[in-house]
Amino acid sequence: MNIIGHRGSNFNDGENTLRAITKALNDEVDGIEIDLRAVENNIIILHDETVNRTTDGSGHYKDFSSQSIRSLRCMNGDKIPLLQEVLCLQKPIKELILEFKEPGLAGEVSQILDNHLQFTSGQYKKNIIVSSFNMEITKELSCYPDKWKLAILYKDDFSSAIERAKFYNAPDVHVPMSDINKYNIKYAHKKNRRIYAYTVNSVKDYDLCLSCGVDGIFTDNPKYFVQRAATEEQAR
């Protein structure tokens, strides 16, 4: 079962920052999930529509210029990073999962990925996975099948999500914990879909995912679950 650092290493190191991502990579996660938004001509890594919760600033992110939003400091002292900065990290990322938080970014993100060929060719070919809760954005992302793999991220209904995955030829479905059970996972696997569960922060949820045959989990505390998985592997 793959362990994905949700916004990096969210518990301890300031979500969606280079330090948090590097921490998770050093802890040997199987992948990283980050959130994409645009300010002027830059793709930034930011979850919320405001900067209030995660930085020393306040206000809607669209009210900032590229320069002013980069002058803010996150809770760990880092800047809000650019997508290019994540792609330039020296540590290899086995799976980089990009959640699009607004429409109209696919073309620009595709161009950025083209300029960082180690992520789209050779050893790391097709390790980019994209998703969005917004169905219109999902449709937009589906138009670039040669650039990335599409995942269906949803809050509505499991069966509908599986049908959308089939329609868009998306190999992955990102599933809330409330829909994790053996029946659903077995059904998804029969449809040749991988299931990643969000967001797994308790041992109870981890054990349920493991027993149900989930393919991966998103967690705010990846170090703990990477170590747990390693201990279980040694015990086998």
In a 10 Å sphere around its CB, with 0-12 CB exposed, 13-18 middle and 19+ buried, how is residue 126 labelled?
A: middle
pLDDT tier for residue 116 given thresholds of 50, 70 and 90? confident
Q: How far separated are the first and last CA of the chain, in Å rounded?
A: 15
How far apart (Å, rounded) are the C-alpha atoms in residues 231 and 213? 18
How far apart (Å, rounded) are the C-alpha atoms in residues 230 and 85? 30
Average pLDDT (4-13) is 86
Q: What is the radius of gyration, based on Cα positions, of the chain?
A: 17
Average pLDDT (158-186) is 98
How far apart (Å, rounded) are the C-alpha atoms in residues 35 and 229? 26
214, 194 in Cβ contact below 8 A?
A: no
pLDDT tier for residue 124 given thresholds of 50, 70 and 90? low
More confident residue, 56 or 236: 56
Q: Quick check: helix, strand or coil at residue 54?
A: coil
pLDDT at 202: 97
pLDDT tens for 163-175 read 999 999 999 999 9
How far apart (Å, rounded) are the C-alpha atoms in residues 183 and 174? 16
How far apart (Å, rounded) are the C-alpha atoms in residues 102 and 92? 27
How far apart (Å, rounded) are the C-alpha atoms in residues 218 and 22? 16
pLDDT tens for 24-68 read 999 999 999 999 999 999 999 999 999 999 999 999 999 999 999
Would you say residue 119 has pLDDT above 90? no
Element spanning 96, H or E: strand 96-100
pLDDT at 10: 79
Lowest mean pLDDT among 74-78, 123-127, 142-146: 123-127
pLDDT at 118: 72
215, 196 in Cβ contact below 8 A?
A: yes
pLDDT at 35: 98
Residues 6+ apart with CB under 8 A from 42: 66, 82
pLDDT tier for residue 126 given thresholds of 50, 70 and 90? low
How far apart (Å, rounded) are the C-alpha atoms in residues 141 and 194? 18
pLDDT tier for residue 122 given thresholds of 50, 70 and 90? low
Structure tokens at 147: 């650039």
Mean pLDDT of the chain: 94
